[in-house]
Structure 1
Amino acid sequence: MEIRTASSPKQPAVPFTGAPAPVAHRIERAITANLPFAWVTGDEAYGDNGPLRRFLEARQLNYVLAVARAHRLTSAAGAFRAGVMAKKVPESGFEAIPAGIGTSPWPCSPWPISPSPAPCL
């Protein structure tokens, strides 16, 4: 989990290591300390943590959290495993977006282009 500052793109990310449970407390401390950041990222250990996502949404914080293929997501078509939903997105529905400064080399990850009216909790 890391917070990237919005004020200086060349400034390195501040790593937030640790279990998903205490990370909400660490993010809250960053907010209280007025540390500038635009969004929060995390791997599936964080993305599969519903309370963490709800914490971020309640504070209207932008985030990108990976989820496990077995994670269940709900859409207008019903509830499906994330891996099944990902296979239904056509190749033209993905866009390569660079991970940004601080990653070496700057990898581009394929992200599905999908507006979401509500979070998939």
Structure 2
Amino acid sequence: MVTDNISDLLTRIRNANMVKHHVVQVPHTKMSLAIVKILKDEGYIENFEDYAENNKKYLLILLKYFGRNRQPVISKLQRVSKPGLRVYKNKKTLPNILDNLGIAIISTSKGVMTNIKAKELGIGGEVLCYIW
């Protein structure tokens, strides 16, 4: 059993990207579903779908590559807030990732969203990860 579902999700995506797999399977949780929806909306993955096998739910994530050499769209996934050390930012100190070329995923009182959307709404929260 995994204790940190977010780190498990990011590690599975990172490992699949390194070996250029097209599909990666992750356990279905509310948090992983919210993160994967953001990755799809921001264009970091092609698509995802739910499926169940032996009464367990999974997410199938289709990774995105570009160019003839299949360079991954996601170059870096970095976990920020961990179970042992939570990182919170208010609306004034929200991170700016590579001058908004990358995103930070923030867990707020209004749900999981990107740093750009959180700045628009004027709210802060727990910084889950950086992606670029």
Common fold, TM-score beyond 0.5? no
Question: Given the two structures, how large is their TM-score scaled by the length of structure 1?
Answer: 0.29
Which structure has more RCO (C-alpha within 8 Å, separation ≥ 6)?
A: 2
Question: Given the two structures, how large is their TM-score scaled by the length of structure 2?
Answer: 0.27
